[in-house]
Structure 1
Amino acid sequence: MSQKVRIATRKSKLATQQTNYICRLLQNRNPGLEIETLGVVTTGDKSANQPNSALSGKGDFLKEIESELLNGTADLAIHSMKDVPAHLPDGLAVRAVAPRQDPSDALVGVSSPFNIPADARIGTSSCRRRALLRHAFNKTNVQDIRGNVDTRLKKLDEGSYDALVLATAGLLRLGLNNRIGLRLDPSIFVPAAGQGQLAAEYRIGDNRISRLIDSLEEPGASDVSRCERDVVNMLGADCTTPVGVFCVSRNQEFHIEAIVVDPSGERSVRVSCQDESPGSLATTVARSLLSMGASELFEVG
């Protein structure tokens, strides 16, 4: 007897591409599985033409999808992990699935941050990218940009911006490799927690769906993802906070780079360390950042 699973996702081209990829993996690893996808319009999608200040920063691209999970209309939801808040609604859980794509940020429209004129207009929707552009490269003319990847690229091509900073993973998943001018080193331009990683959200206690997610897990991915998200959680940060956290697993140890920057880019605190336990590492990093004044940088914003 065949199984059926209903997967909720946003309707954007990138979200659809990511969900279709997970559908193929699920069916390859679970023969006979029937999948129905449910396109959902979220609060973030409805606010696409409004400035980022109009968003709450707490799951604006997930709330309506999570409602579909909680009311039983959907069994599973696929997200970009970087969009998933540290705190989930009661009754839901999230796990990292599939191999992580390149976690770096990409410059689009130019091949080096040092080739960007001082008055160039750089577009980004991320407070972290904005603060890091100011902090790492002294770029002050950073302007807000909204819309999906295609919309942003169109605005660049039409001359509304001179350069963009986008997630490398999204460009690669859309087959837009040729638009990448430079992949910014994640050890310097530290990415958001979970960037490049796909996430599966589901109802706690749904053992059938949990077993399907088991078939999507990659060795070490959950530990790395949990470590990055735990740092953000312990800092009391969210997607409106200029925080970068990047963890990798190698030689049986977890290595992490983490940075908090004030929105002006003038001040920052940074930690780089390693540990055999991802849980201990996250605690050490968060405590170190807080002891160095990270919370004061939050208050600046």
Structure 2
Amino acid sequence: MTKIIRIGTRDSELALWQAHHVEKMLNDLGYKTKIVAVKSQGDIILDKPLYELGITGIFTKTLDIAMINGDIDIAVHSMKDVPTALPQGIVQAAVLERANEKDILVYNNNLDFLDTEATIATGSLRRQAQWLHKYPNHNVVDLRGNVNTRMQKLKDNNWDGAIFAAAGLERINLKPENYINLDWMIPAPAQGAMMVVAMGDDSYCLDALAELNHIETEITTYIERQFLRTLEGGCTAPIGAFAKFNEKDETIHFQGVLFSLDGSQKIEVNKIVEVQEWKQLGYNAAQEIFENGGLELMKSIKEKLKKQ
């Protein structure tokens, strides 16, 4: 059996780039494809922070519905936007090799503000908390929209800078000269990776996508998302995680962190394990966070977000 694989995607420039990237990989393997662009609620509602919308997977839900309804066969996502629990019937079919996992700061004029007062824009609680932890005298404002919209908002406002995922800007050639790498900022779980999902009973698409899967990225992002899932329990929180495979000694290095919303509290875990111990690494690291005060901090975060 052969069929045209309908690739569902959001209609932003970055999402379309990712969909076309997967399309080319499938075409190179001999599969026929078609791009189907769908606008998500996360792109439409730009006047509220993401955590206020109360929707799990706001950037993925529209595509999930389209797939369940049979309008598309597969969907391509920035993996960090995908909820750790997928809808019934939908499965992770491929994780592509991870690109740059770092966050970067794009600034308007110069970097003098780092030593004084400043206004930094981000729509991410994780970025906000880590920035305020390092620069407690700075002001952080909300920034929403797709990558292009956010870059334009930075130009149009008198903010000192805004925080972006490096991979997104690099993929669509939007990374400007006036940026710095935030090497000290722990990325979102699975940042820089792309996930392709399909229906669990669609053997044709599952077989096709299996050829695109990058096993090392699949394992490291699994660890990071397991850490996230264990910690958050459905609650949005300032959580960072990054796992990296070390070929020399065949170990996995994991760094995870939980912050309070204002960045004043930080609970961190660093672990190095043998590769064969990867399946429980994220869970065990999250338990360490809980044992060091993370349980109380998560309760506090949930209560504060309810009041906002």
TM-score by length of 1: 0.92
* Letter aligned with residue 236 of structure 2: T
Note if contact 2:84-2:225 (Cα within 8 Å) is conserved in structure 1. Answer: yes
Note if contact 1:8-1:77 (Cα within 8 Å) is conserved in structure 2. Answer: yes
Question: Which structure 2 residues correspond to residues 25-40 of structure 1 after superposition, within 5 A?
Answer: 25-28=25-28, 30-31=29-30, 33-40=31-38
Out of 220, 225, 230, the residue aligned to residue 221 of structure 2 is 225
Aligned partner of 1:269 in structure 2 is 267
Between 1:94-103 and 1:228-237, the stretch displaced more is: 94-103
Out of 139, 159, 177, the residue aligned to residue 141 of structure 1 is 139
Q: Structure 1 regions of 5+ residues with no counterpart?
A: none
Note if contact 1:268-1:297 (Cα within 8 Å) is conserved in structure 2. Answer: no
Offset of residue 269 of structure 1: 0.5
Offset of residue 48 of structure 1: 1.8
Question: Which structure 2 residues correspond to residues 186-225 of structure 1 after superposition, within 5 A?
Answer: 188-225=184-221
Between 1:121-130 and 1:41-50, the stretch displaced more is: 41-50
Helix, strand or coil at the partner of 1:116: helix
Distance 2:238 2:222 in 1: 19
Note if contact 1:96-1:200 (Cα within 8 Å) is conserved in structure 2. Answer: yes
Q: What are the Cα deviations for residues 214-253 of structure 1, in whole angstroms up to 9, with x where unaligned?
A: 1111231111111111111111355721000101111222
* Letter aligned with residue 128 of structure 1: R
Give the superposed CA RMSD.
2.0
* Letter aligned with residue 22 of structure 2: I
Between 1:76-85 and 1:160-169, the stretch displaced more is: 160-169
Q: What are the Cα deviations for residues 101-138 of structure 1, in whole angstroms up to 9, with x where unaligned?
A: 10010100169977425432100000000000011233
Distance 1:92 1:71 in 2: 12
Relative to structure 1, is the Cα distance of residues 180 and 217 closer, same or farther in structure 2, using a 3 angstrom cutoff? farther
Aligned partner of 1:99 in structure 2 is 97
Helix, strand or coil at the partner of 1:255: strand
Aligned partner of 1:90 in structure 2 is 88
Aligned partner of 1:14 in structure 2 is 14
* Letter aligned with residue 71 of structure 1: N
Helix, strand or coil at the partner of 1:258: strand
Helix, strand or coil at the partner of 2:181: strand
Relative to structure 1, is the Cα distance of residues 139 and 129 closer, same or farther in structure 2, using a 3 angstrom cutoff? farther
* Letter aligned with residue 201 of structure 1: V
Relative to structure 1, is the Cα distance of residues 70 and 113 closer, same or farther in structure 2, using a 3 angstrom cutoff? farther
Between 1:154-163 and 1:100-109, the stretch displaced more is: 154-163
Offset of residue 201 of structure 1: 1.0
Distance 1:220 1:232 in 2: 19
Note if contact 1:95-1:222 (Cα within 8 Å) is conserved in structure 2. Answer: no
Distance 1:266 1:113 in 2: 23
* Letter aligned with residue 16 of structure 2: T
Distance 1:220 1:45 in 2: 31
Between 1:214-223 and 1:125-134, the stretch displaced more is: 214-223
Between 1:50-59 and 1:132-141, the stretch displaced more is: 50-59
Q: Structure 2 regions of 5+ residues with no counterpart?
A: 302-308
Relative to structure 1, is the Cα distance of residues 117 and 65 closer, same or farther in structure 2, using a 3 angstrom cutoff? same
Helix, strand or coil at the partner of 1:171: helix
Aligned partner of 1:289 in structure 2 is 289
Helix, strand or coil at the partner of 1:100: coil
Note if contact 2:93-2:210 (Cα within 8 Å) is conserved in structure 1. Answer: no
Helix, strand or coil at the partner of 2:117: coil
Out of 234, 240, 243, the residue aligned to residue 236 of structure 2 is 240
Helix, strand or coil at the partner of 1:293: helix
Note if contact 1:274-1:281 (Cα within 8 Å) is conserved in structure 2. Answer: no
Distance 1:37 1:269 in 2: 43
Distance 1:45 1:178 in 2: 23
Out of 125, 129, 146, the residue aligned to residue 131 of structure 1 is 129
**Count of matched residue positions in the alignment of Structure 1 and Structure 2:** 297
Note if contact 1:112-1:181 (Cα within 8 Å) is conserved in structure 2. Answer: no
Between 1:171-180 and 1:59-68, the stretch displaced more is: 171-180
Note if contact 2:40-2:58 (Cα within 8 Å) is conserved in structure 1. Answer: yes
Distance 2:32 2:86 in 1: 27
